[in-house]
Chains A and B, each alone.
With several copies, the nearest count.
Chain A
Amino acid sequence: QTTLTIETSVPFTAHKIEPPSRTVETTPKELLGFFKDMAKMRRMEIAADSLYKSKLIRGFCHLYDGQEAVAVGMEAAITKKDCIITAYRDHCIYLGRGGTLVEAFAELMGRKAGCSKGKGGSMHFYKKDSGFYGGHGIVGAQVPLGCGLAFAQKYSKDGTVSFTMYGDGAANQGQLFEALNMAALWDLPAILVCENNHYGMGTAEWRAAKSPAYYKRGDYVPGLKVDGMDAFAVKQACKFAKEYALQNGPIILEMDTYRYHGHSMSDPGSTYRTRDEISGVRQERDPIERVRKLVLSHDLATEKELKDIEKEVRKEVDEAIAQAKESPMPEPSELFTNVYVKGFGVEAFGADRKEVKAVLP
Chain B
Amino acid sequence: KQMTVRDALNSALDEEMSADPKVFLMGEEVGEYQGAYKISKGLLDKYGPERVRDTPITEAGFTGIGVGAAYYGLRPVVEFMTFNFSMQAIDHIINSAAKSNYMSAGQISVPIVFRGPNGAAAGVGAQHSQCYAAWYGSCPGLKVLAPYSSEDARGLLKAAIRDPDPVVFLENELLYGESFPVSDEVLDSSYCLPIGKAKIEREGKDVTITAFSKMVGYALQAAEILSKEGISAEVINLRSIRPLDRQTINASVRKTNRLVTVEEGYPQHGVGAEICASVVEESFGYLDAPVERIAGADVPMPYAANLERMAVPQNSNVLSASVGEPGNLMCPEYF
Contact = CB atoms under 8 A, between A and B. Distances in A.
| A and B touching (Cβ–Cβ under 8 A) | yes
Interface of A: 58-60, 83, 85, 107, 110-111, 116-124, 126-128, 133-141, 143-153, 155-156, 169-170, 172-175, 177-179, 181-182, 185-186, 200-203, 207-209, 271-272, 329-330, 332, 334-342, 344, 346-356
Interface stretch (B48-56, B146-154, B184-192, B204-212): B48-56
A207 B24 CA distance: 19
A351 B72 contact: no
Given A58-B122, A174-B58, A344-B243, A148 B307 contact: no
Contacts of A355: 317, 320, 326
A179 B61 contact: yes
Contacts of A348: 140, 297-299
B4 to A, nearest CB: 17
Interface centre among A122, A145, A344 (most CB of B within 10 A): A145
Interface residues of B, number: 92
A144 B70 CA distance: 12
B87 to A, nearest CB: 8
B302 A148 contact: no
Contacts of A110: 123, 303-307
A137 B56 contact: no
Contacts of A340: 101, 141, 143, 164-165
Nearest to A121: B303
B140 to A, nearest CB: 5
Contacts of A349: 267, 295, 297-298
Contact of B299 (A137, A169, A339, A342): A339
A58 B84 contact: no
A221 to B, nearest CB: 14
A120 B300 CA distance: 10
Interface centre among A138, A150, A200, A337 (most CB of B within 10 A): A138
Contacts of B283: none
A178 B246 contact: no
Contact of A201 (B36, B195, B298): B36
B138 interface: no
B124 A121 contact: yes
A18 to B, nearest CB: 29
Interface in B115-133: 121-128
Interface in B17-73: 24, 28-29, 32-33, 36, 50, 53-58, 60-73
Nearest to B267: A349
Contacts of B60: 144, 174-175, 178
Contact of A351 (B28, B36, B196, B297): B297
B264 to A, nearest CB: 9
Interface stretch (B6-14, B104-112, B223-231): B104-112
Nearest to B162: A342
B61 A351 contact: no
A53 to B, nearest CB: 14
A63 to B, nearest CB: 16
B95 A152 contact: no
Given A124-B303, A182-B58, A329-B304, A117 B108 contact: no
Contact of B108 (A111, A128, A209): A128
B30 to A, nearest CB: 11
Contacts of B28: 201, 203
B248 interface: no
A143 B65 CA distance: 8
Given A137-B127, A272-B32, A179 B65 contact: yes
B305 A329 contact: yes
A352 B61 contact: no
Interface centre among B64, B69, B124, B297 (most CB of A within 10 A): B64
B74 to A, nearest CB: 5
A147 B298 CA distance: 31
B96 interface: yes
A339 B102 contact: yes
B100 A330 contact: no
A163 B169 CA distance: 31
A172 B70 CA distance: 24
Contacts of A111: 304
A148 B24 contact: no
Contacts of A137: 95, 125, 127-128
A173 to B, nearest CB: 6
A118 B306 CA distance: 10
B303 A120 contact: yes
